[in-house]
Structure 1
């Protein structure tokens, strides 16, 4: 256990120190600092002096979501959701983590606060962020850098690493940096012969959904000065490129990304995997369509493959879950294969946000995608501020995962998190 926490809470403006965790008597049970300005984001970091009526509705929805998250935070700083594992086309709760804190969900919740301008030492919800951060650091194996609790796996480790990188970029705290370096090294050392990752460290197979999480964590770490070998990034980039489908499969259009290379008999390209594939390439520095030259592992021949990301964005537009399934949108609506619903939208929003910088067509695509996100997601929000899904559960009084994801997605345009920026 850490003997020191990152931050002594700044009760005087501009004061930041490292000390023992002490919750201020001013904090109420919601995790909110009543002395902070109402509205969740300090007035000096507001980005748009003239927000539109739509902007204000989104801001209100996000604030309701963040207040819900603050209300259900545990005393140890964690958030609890019965996270499980995808098993084929089904979703299976992890029995080791049933009713227990989840480090991955805790990291995502902290990210949701960061994305709204709250940090461990500033903002209305700074106490919630600081407590969540301390919980995660208490779960670090100091020898290996592995971040896990109650059976969590590489997904959760990568989100924790991403959080540490974003917090370090904001605070330059040496304790955070030490844990970030260890967590980053663990990801690098866990890369397998395919150039990617799987649920368990050093597992002898890979998949796109885990790969994108690790790549984004590595990018965030590199952004703040942590050493990430170029060979690690190049190997992962090649894995993602190999997963790109230049042709459709009879059901889905071209431009998708496969779940696993090892399962080319069942490619399983989906909305969420394709969004993940695009963001994985963006995290590795590839923001546009390009031709890839590589050597065939079977024949030894030099081959070329065109990675047309424009087709990937058309794919995402056609297979957007709400459009594909149809029907009314409401807080209680349960989407098919909903374990991938928020995960897919989390990466799709990032992908389209970056796409806007490619030119007029990309900018139009982002504006429309973000507009649809705002309309649909606000229809999905429960009255108490929560969003629900299969992963976090359909009880709006308990769901942290979907709520945090929705808040993150809606705040991507705000630009507070460097990993979401171009």
Structure 2
């Protein structure tokens, strides 16, 4: 479902900008089926696993939940019908994943608070229209504490690019004051590691993944994509 969530996000942004009637109709058909699958793949607890609930014996975890919610929200923004109960159940799943320290655990079954998933969960809540509720505020405080070092601090727990793909969205949505504090050190670090051919190779996933995420972070405040706009 990781790829499914990112595909919904990507295609919904294309759909919103596409002017050709035939291609729009095809994209609408694909996205409608994608939303339907997403609802069917959701587990009884409201989350998602790496495959559908049926194929994965109802296993679910936090990071896949985030990709589905952001993809669903992007589809809804583009005019594709999305059942409200699917998103409501996902938001409730995130609440149930919260640990006493305010962070989000790996899954509803435990696993300890994870700064990367916690940052992604805030973006997920913001995408769901929940900015000022208690859950979002607790998560913000947790991330402010655990990501206080910005560019360097995040290296300590791994998944730097995943973390800042979502935390950049959060900081941008919080407004100019937060963004102006967050973005300069992050962008400076990213630009300092770019290769001569324009790519980035740090991390253990591969240059395509790293380059795509770094480019997205650097372009968040350009407002090109509806899902990242304030």
Asked whether the two chains share a fold, i.e. TM above 0.5, the reply is: yes
Map Cα deviations across residues 186-238 of structure 1 (whole Å, 9 max, x no partner). 11111111101011111312111100000000000000111111111110010
Q: How does 1:110-259 map to 2 (within 5 A)?
A: 154-171=1-18, 173-202=24-53, 203=56, 204-247=58-101, 255-259=102-106
Q: 2:204 is matched with which residue?
A: 390
Of 208, 217, 221, 1:400 maps to 208
Pick the structure with greater CA Rg. Answer: 1
Distance 2:13 2:146 in 1: 28
Moved over 4 A (4+): none
Give yes or no for the alignment of 1:345 onto 2:159: no
Q: CA deviation at 1:351?
A: 1.0
User: Helix, strand or coil: the match of 2:88?
Assistant: helix
Residues 166 and 418 in structure 1, CA contact (< 8 A), matched pair in contact too: yes
Gaps spanning 5+ residues in structure 1: where?
1-153, 248-254, 292-305, 326-334, 357-362, 393-398
Which structure has more helix as a fraction of its residues?
2
Residues 103 and 139 in structure 2, CA contact (< 8 A), matched pair in contact too: no
Q: CA deviation at 1:317?
A: 3.0
Give yes or no for the alignment of 1:370 onto 2:183: yes
Residues 316 and 348 in structure 1, CA contact (< 8 A), matched pair in contact too: no
User: Helix, strand or coil: the match of 1:201?
Assistant: coil
User: Helix, strand or coil: the match of 1:312?
Assistant: helix
Normalised to the residue count of structure 2, the TM-score between the two structures is: 0.89
Q: CA deviation at 1:310?
A: 3.7
Normalised to the residue count of structure 1, the TM-score between the two structures is: 0.50
Gaps spanning 5+ residues in structure 2: where?
none
Map Cα deviations across residues 64-107 of structure 1 (whole Å, 9 max, x no partner). xxxxxxxxxxxxxxxxxxxxxxxxxxxxxxxxxxxxxxxxxxxx
Distance 2:35 2:154 in 1: 38
Q: 2:226 is matched with which residue?
A: 418
Residues 246 and 307 in structure 1, CA contact (< 8 A), matched pair in contact too: no
Distance 1:289 1:183, change over 3 A: same
Q: CA RMSD, aligned part only?
A: 1.9
Q: CA deviation at 1:245?
A: 3.0
Q: CA deviation at 1:318?
A: 2.4
Q: How many residues align?
A: 222
Distance 1:313 1:274, change over 3 A: same
Distance 1:193 1:336 in 2: 31
Of 307, 311, 315, 2:141 maps to 311
